[in-house]
Amino acid sequence: MEQPRHLRILRDIAAVFVTFMFMFPILWWALTSIKPISAVFDKDRVVFFDFVPTLINYAVTLLGLSRSGIAIDQGIGMGVGGAEAYDSRRAILDSVVVSIGATAATMAVAIFAAYALSRMAFRGRAGYLNWVLGQRFMPPIAILIPLVTIYKDAGLRDSDSLYGGYFGLMMIYALMNLPIALLLMKSFFDDVPKDVDEAAMIDGATRWQSFSKVVLPMVRGGVAASAVLVFIFSWTEFLLSLFLTTSIRTVPVKIQTFVTSTGNEWGFIAALGTAAAIPSFIFILLVQRHLVRGLTLGSLKE
Amino acid sequence: MVSEHPFPWLLPASALMVIFGLYPLLYAIWLSLQRKHPVTRKLSFAPSYNWSKLLGDERVWNAMGNTLVYTSVALVLQLVLGMLIALLLDSDRKGYGLLRAMMTLPLVIPPAVTAMMFLLMLNGSFGVLARGIIATGLLPPGFSILGTASTAMAGVLLAEVWQWTPFMVLIMLAGLRSLPKEPFEAAAIDGATATQVFFKLTLPMMSKVIAIAVLIRGIDLFRAFDYVKVMTDSGPGTATETLTSYAGRIYFGNADFPYASTIALLTLIIVIFVSFVFMKVFKVKL
């Protein structure tokens, strides 16, 4: 059905306008990250582009430049926080380690289970799938409070146990992401006809060989898409990381510490926030094709 | 050789779910049946103590009301906006692919960062959004949207709706693109108007997709925490306190684990019950 020309143009304008509305907060955020303090806090007018851009916020948060030195340079006087308070390199490292570890753990566990649930008929299969799905329905707060105690007793929470902190967060992220990874992988395995395994096994392959040599390579794309989604969800998680560890600070938690009693350090907040969003942006654009399938736990395909 | 038996394949996943999922859940249930002595801090078995306290706690009902308002308002807005934007962006013409890709970006920003973003933009004295609203004369100068009880929830919802409407857009787009062509061609020949086509064809044929989207979004909305914690810290007072944030406040505030666990379990029970009924009524299968 061909639309008349003027309607088409009208629609183009509306589409661009709506998309721009959704991009605006991101653009504003990026803009804030390169503004000097005076432009962020201008009470008389909204500063759009008439400011001298600065990378100082990135230098402090990502490179660990001293904050008080800058404050003196800008003539504000001594900075409030200590030099390390805004240095986010440790938090970024913590986030990277936890997210990669959680993704690896989730995928390792999910792939095997997904293969069995896709390929084998056994009693309790439907029940097992419901158990997995039930994990997705469960509000994290329901297990969070006992987990704090459990983690404390196991030495996974407190500040003297760095590796314990990593391990504890990785495992709980693996649990939270298990349903999406497992159900998504199952849907990718389901796309591969069962004849493929059967043919391999008639040719003398064991179940393991048929899985590892034949079927798994066929769902590589699915593994990558699931891993990317798990990574993003781990990277952006806030509640669990806030409660469950004191030894490490992931980026979403670290950024909250920039809210101080004397005022919020918006420049630093915006710089770290922008930097934290960039890896996710790249990843999400890489898996566009499988995004809907992933977000609906494999039940809708594009 | 790995046997044909599913056991070894399911073992790692099962271990993860038992140790980090089932065990804490049973622990939470056990906790909810304990009473924490306020002075000695000793736990004693008192199965009905927390649950009866919960029924008489006005803040629980307030948090429940806030959670319901939050969930339903966000769900309706995201669904309607998501559908409209999906219809708008569902075109094969040049450039629309790029617009659709851009639409997915808000989804992957850490919600705690999104919350900060809106905290800045809604600041009454230098926030760009707040100033925009003030400039229209709807609000007095310097008005603090998040600091005023009657508008705080709307401010938090703005962040929520911004971040998750794209989720609905994506799913609705996938749904629209999977629709068969024939009924629409037939309707065009019969001279049906666009409105008729939408309500008589598109909407009914999309019902399964919409139901799945509502279910997934609904269970996530009901656990609302990140935006509320960062933007208003459940305040002012208890104006934006949700069930999850109330449980968190009790936990951090008075370290009453048993009672915090009980509120958390209440959230779980509601989510399981409502989603079970929803799945039965709308015949959704994930």
Q: So what's the pLDDT on residue A77?
A: 45
Sequence-ordered alpha helix ranges (H) in A76-219: 89-119, 125-137, 141-154, 162-191, 194-202, 207-209, 216-218
Q: For chain A, which residues score pLDDT lower than 70?
A: 1-2, 67-84, 159-160, 261-262, 302
With contacts defined as CB-CB under 8 Å, which chain B residues touch A171? 16, 19-20
Q: So what's the pLDDT on residue A72?
A: 58
Residue with tokens 């490292």: A93
CA distance B192 to B184: 9
- Nearest chain A residue (CA) to B11: A113
Q: What is the DSSP string of B34-89?
A: EEE-TTT--EEE-TTHHHHHHHT-HHHHHHHHHHHHHHHHHHHHHHHHHHHHHHHH
Q: How far away is chain A from the Cα of B44, in angstroms, using its nearest Cα?
A: 16
Q: How far away is chain A from the Cα of B150, in angstroms, using its nearest Cα?
A: 24
Q: Do A115 and B177 touch (CB under 8 A)?
A: no
Percent of chain B at pLDDT above 90? 72
CB atoms within 10 A of CB B37: 10
- Nearest chain A residue (CA) to B244: A141
A2 touches chain B (CB under 8 A): no
Residues 6+ apart with CB under 8 A from B38: none
What pLDDT digit, counting tens, does each position of A124-145 carry?
A: 999 999 999 989 988 898 899 8
Q: So what's the pLDDT on residue A68?
A: 64
Q: Given a cut of 90, is residue B256 above it in pLDDT?
A: no
CA distance A31 to A111: 42
**In this predicted structure, which of A262-271, B77-86, B228-237 has the lowest mean pLDDT?**
A262-271
Q: Do B13 and A109 touch (CB under 8 A)?
A: yes
CA distance B118 to B128: 10
Q: Do A292 and B171 touch (CB under 8 A)?
A: yes
As a whole number, mean pLDDT of residues B12-32 equals 95
Give, in degrees to the nearest 5, the angle at Cα B171 between B170 and B175.
120
Which of B113, B275, B216 shows the shortest CA–CA distance to A279?
B113
- Nearest chain A residue (CA) to B266: A142
With contacts defined as CB-CB under 8 Å, which chain A residues touch B209? 300
CA distance B9 to A109: 9
Q: What is the DSSP string of A77-109?
A: -S-SS-GGGG--HHHHHHHHHHHHHHHHHHHHH
User: In this structure, which amino acid lies at residue B9?
Assistant: W
Q: So what's the pLDDT on residue A74?
A: 59
A277 touches chain B (CB under 8 A): yes
Percent of chain B at pLDDT above 70? 99
What pLDDT digit, counting tens, does each position of B257-276 carry?
A: 899 999 999 999 999 999 99
Give, in degrees to the nearest 5, the angle at Cα A162 between A159 and A164.
100
Report strand pairing: A263-264 vs B34-36. unpaired
Q: Do B10 and A139 touch (CB under 8 A)?
A: no
Q: Do A175 and B12 touch (CB under 8 A)?
A: no
The two structure tokens encoding residue B215:
């279910």
Length of chain B in residues, anyone? 286
Residue in B2, B17, B184 closest to A178 by CB: B17
With contacts defined as CB-CB under 8 Å, which chain A residues touch B171? 292, 295-296, 300
Q: How far away is chain A from the Cα of B235, in angstroms, using its nearest Cα?
A: 16
ipTM score here?
Answer: 0.90
Which of A147, A122, A236, A131 shows the shortest CA–CA distance to A183?
A131
Testing the interface with A: which of B16, B178, B219, B267 to mutate, by most A Cβ within 10 A? B16
Residue in A1, A116, A132 closest to B9 by CB: A116
A192 touches chain B (CB under 8 A): no
The two structure tokens encoding residue A94:
């913590």
Which of A190, A144, A188, A151 shows the shortest CA–CA distance to A168?
A151
Number of H helices, E strands in chain B: 15, 2
Instruction: State the count of interchain CB pairs (< 8 A) between A and B.
Output: 270
- Nearest chain B residue (CA) to A208: B2
CA distance A249 to A228: 22
Q: So what's the pLDDT on residue A71?
A: 61
Which of B168, B146, B159 shows the shortest CA–CA distance to B110?
B159
CA distance A248 to A165: 6
A3 touches chain B (CB under 8 A): no
Testing the interface with B: which of A29, A122, A129, A141 to mutate, by most B Cβ within 10 A? A141
Q: Do B267 and A141 touch (CB under 8 A)?
A: yes
With contacts defined as CB-CB under 8 Å, which chain A residues touch B216? 295-297
- Nearest chain B residue (CA) to A44: B126
Chain mean position to CA A235: 3
Report strand pairing: A263-264 vs B43-45. unpaired
A17 touches chain B (CB under 8 A): no
**In this predicted structure, which of A3-12, B74-83, B213-222, B235-244 has the lowest mean pLDDT?**
A3-12
Testing the interface with B: which of A3, A117, A145 to mutate, by most B Cβ within 10 A? A145
Testing the interface with A: which of B67, B105, B168, B276 to mutate, by most A Cβ within 10 A? B105
Q: Which residues pair with B41 in a beta bridge?
A: none
Q: How far away is chain A from the Cα of B21, in angstroms, using its nearest Cα?
A: 7
Mean pLDDT in chain B? 91
Q: So what's the pLDDT on residue A73?
A: 60
As a whole number, mean pLDDT of residues B202-226 equals 92
Q: For the whole prediction, is pTM greater than 0.80? A: yes
The DSSP secondary-structure symbol of B108 reads: G
Q: Do B128 and A297 touch (CB under 8 A)?
A: no
Residue in B9, B31, B177 closest to A112 by CB: B9
